[in-house]
């Protein structure tokens, strides 16, 4: 009899836990929807406090089929208007996974604002965090500093010696882990561009701190020792200390009229109607751009090595095109644009981005509640067969035709389009050019499993035998 009571008690507890978030977040909203002839997006809010994080981690970390997180919901609830309700990263959320609703969210700045789960890591005054006039101002600063044609030309000159030095060192080593080596190469370049620093102990420290910070950007925000978010906060504070010290040095150098031209100088020198940027704005935006450039460029470079090794026909074509161009115009540097875009599409470095509904929003009969997070599942745009034929096949020729509108979202859109996208594309194009015309490599573990958190990468770090042609 005791066993029966215990069993019934367990069933009751399970029932309460399963429906707790539904009662807490949804019931009152459903009554509100009845008055406006709208309804909440389909879905389930998961367990108390943790929501559907276990399901999310199951698809991303255990079975390693991240797209099935969305596919399972489509099978259960149907396509709907391209969104589901859930509870992720500690908050009630709406998942968006189709181009029309994605465009609606990205281009409705009055309704949705950027809302990373971890603003403490990205910086309260960084470009990714601020709104309205402050965002427009910072965006103009970044654009003027790194996206002007003359700035990109100067960057191309600075970047290539570091790329060539890295490739030569890889050939001398013979066997490398591309994930580690592309991180090192990227950070050497970032150190030069952002602070005029050459490779050394400081660069190594910054590299490790940025890697630790990145591990916490998409982690559950638990500030307890042993969790990724806690370690990321620690790394963030150390990065701030380093950049503030560098900023103080620059101020003394400027007093002595010693001129250094890099991104930090650019931020310090820019002045508009609102004056110069504060020290806090400079440091926040330097860290934000370093983190963004570090993750995107290094991981895309790693994926290029992996994918070109898996698809030798593509590598052969890329090598021929670049070799022929070099013979005809030895002073110029280009690469096949299609390869660049296809690698970036398949790498999916930014699987999703976050917004927050600042007001109650109705969309095609569905209500997005005020204060809820909106998670734009960008990865699914690039891996959905409805958007790209045979999406998991590496096929640069698909870019002979433009992608369907709204399906290619690797750098975002609207006012929040990544301001460093031209810089990232340029650096990646230069890397592909020198890699393809001068070197050969083969995967040691061609069937290595893929991990997807915090960023997608083969589990072996892309081990390759590497040498000169």
pLDDT tens for the chain, 469 residues long, are 566 666 666 667 777 778 888 888 888 888 777 777 888 999 999 999 899 999 999 999 999 999 999 999 999 998 878 999 999 988 999 999 999 999 999 888 889 987 765 677 777 777 777 777 777 777 777 777 676 666 677 777 888 888 999 999 999 999 999 999 998 898 888 888 777 777 777 777 887 888 888 777 767 777 888 888 888 889 989 988 988 888 888 887 766 555 556 778 877 877 777 778 888 888 888 888 777 777 788 889 999 999 999 999 999 989 988 887 655 554 444 346 788 889 999 998 888 888 999 999 999 989 999 999 999 999 999 999 999 999 999 999 899 888 999 899 888 766 667 777 777 888 888 899 999 999 999 999 999 999 998 789 999 999 999 999 8
Tell me if 452 sits within 8 A of 174, measured CB to CB. no
Phi, psi of 174 (to 5 degrees): 85, -45
d(CA 78, CA 84): 10
β-bridge mates for residue 439, sequence order: 468
Whole-angstrom CA distances from 90 to 50, 87, 220, 228, 455 are: 6, 7, 7, 15, 20
CA dihedral 164, 165, 171, 173 (to 10 degrees): -160
pLDDT at 333: 43
For residue 469, give both structure tokens: 């042609």
β-bridge mates for residue 366, sequence order: 39, 363
Q: Report the DSSP pairing between strands 112-114 and 373-376.
A: unpaired
CA dihedral 436, 442, 448, 454 (to 10 degrees): -30
Buried b (16+ CB within 10 A) or exposed e, 256-291: eeeeeebbbbbbbebeeeeeebeeebbbbbbbbbbb
Q: Which residue has the tokens 């940025």?
A: 210
Tell me if 138 sits within 8 A of 285, measured CB to CB. yes
Question: How big is the chain by its Cα radius of gyration, in Å?
Answer: 24
- Measuring CA to CA, which residue among 34, 61, 30 is closest to residue 45? 30
Q: Which residue has the tokens 């020290």?
A: 279
Report how far Cα 101 is from the mean position of its chain's Cα atoms: 20
Tell me if 463 sits within 8 A of 177, measured CB to CB. yes
Whole-angstrom CA distances from 86 to 40, 49, 106, 178, 356 are: 11, 12, 20, 37, 14
Give the predicted TM-score (pTM) of the model: 0.85
d(CA 381, CA 403): 11
Q: Report the DSSP pairing between strands 175-177 and 457-458.
A: unpaired
d(CA 434, CA 167): 8
pLDDT at 326: 56
pLDDT at 261: 67
d(CA 381, CA 359): 26
Q: In a 3-state reduction of DSSP, which class is residue 279?
A: helix
- Helix ranges restricted to H, 22-50: 27-36
d(CA 424, CA 295): 10
Tell me if 262 sits within 8 A of 193, measured CB to CB. yes
Buried b (16+ CB within 10 A) or exposed e, 177-187: bbbebbbbbbb
CA dihedral 14, 18, 20, 26 (to 10 degrees): -160
pLDDT at 200: 74
d(CA 293, CA 299): 10
Q: Count CA atoms within 13 Å of residue 48 on its CB side.
A: 9
């Amino acid at each position: 009899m005791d066993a029966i009571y215990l069993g019934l008690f367990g069933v009751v507890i399970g029932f309460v836990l399963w429906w707790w978030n539904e009662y807490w977040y949804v019931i009152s909203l459903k009554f509100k929807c009845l008055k406006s002839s709208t309804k909440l997006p389909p879905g389930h809010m998961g367990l108390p406090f943790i929501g559907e994080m276990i399901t999310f981690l199951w698809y991303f970390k255990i079975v390693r089929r991240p797209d099935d997180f969305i596919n399972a919901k489509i099978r259960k609830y149907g396509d709907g208007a391209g969104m589901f309700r859930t509870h992720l990263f500690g908050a009630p959320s709406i998942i968006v996974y189709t181009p029309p609703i994605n465009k609606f969210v990205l281009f409705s700045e009055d309704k949705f604002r950027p809302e990373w789960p971890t603003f403490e890591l990205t910086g309260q005054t960084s470009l990714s965090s601020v709104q309205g006039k402050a965002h427009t101002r910072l965006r103009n600063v970044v654009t003027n500093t790194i996206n002007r044609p003359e700035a990109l030309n100067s960057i191309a000159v600075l970047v290539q010696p570091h790329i060539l030095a890295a490739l030569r060192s890889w050939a001398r080593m013979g066997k490398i882990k591309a994930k580690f080596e592309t991180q090192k190469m990227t950070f050497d370049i970032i150190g030069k561009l952002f602070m005029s620093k050459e490779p050394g102990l400081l660069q190594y420290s910054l590299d490790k701190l940025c890697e630790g910070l990145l591990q916490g950007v998409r982690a559950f925000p638990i500030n307890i020792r042993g969790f990724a978010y806690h370690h990321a906060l620690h790394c963030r504070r150390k990065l701030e200390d380093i950049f503030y010290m560098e900023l103080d040095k620059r101020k003394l150098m400027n007093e002595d009229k010693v001129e250094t031209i890099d991104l930090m100088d650019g931020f310090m020198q820019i002045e508009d109607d609102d004056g110069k940027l504060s020290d806090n704005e400079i440091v926040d935006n330097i860290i934000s751009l370093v983190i963004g450039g570090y993750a995107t460029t290094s991981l895309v470079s790693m994926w290029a090595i992996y994918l070109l090794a898996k698809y030798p026909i593509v590598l052969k074509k890329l090598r021929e095109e670049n070799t022929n161009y070099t013979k005809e115009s030895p002073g110029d540097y280009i690469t096949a644009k299609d390869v660049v875009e296809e690698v970036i599409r398949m790498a999916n470095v930014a699987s999703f981005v976050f917004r927050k509904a600042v007001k109650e929003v109705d969309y095609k009969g569905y209500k997005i509640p005020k204060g809820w997070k909106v998670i734009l599942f960008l990865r699914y745009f690039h891996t959905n067969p409805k958007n790209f034929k045979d999406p998991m096949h590496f096929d640069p020729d698909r870019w002979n035709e433009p992608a369907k509108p709204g399906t290619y979202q690797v750098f975002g859109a609207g006012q929040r389009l990544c301001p460093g996208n031209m810089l990232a594309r340029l650096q990646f194009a230069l890397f592909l050019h020198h890699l393809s015309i001068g070197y050969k490599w083969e995967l040691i573990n061609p069937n290595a499993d893929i991990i997807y958190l915090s960023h997608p990468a083969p589990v072996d770090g892309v081990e390759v035998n590497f040498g000169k042609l």
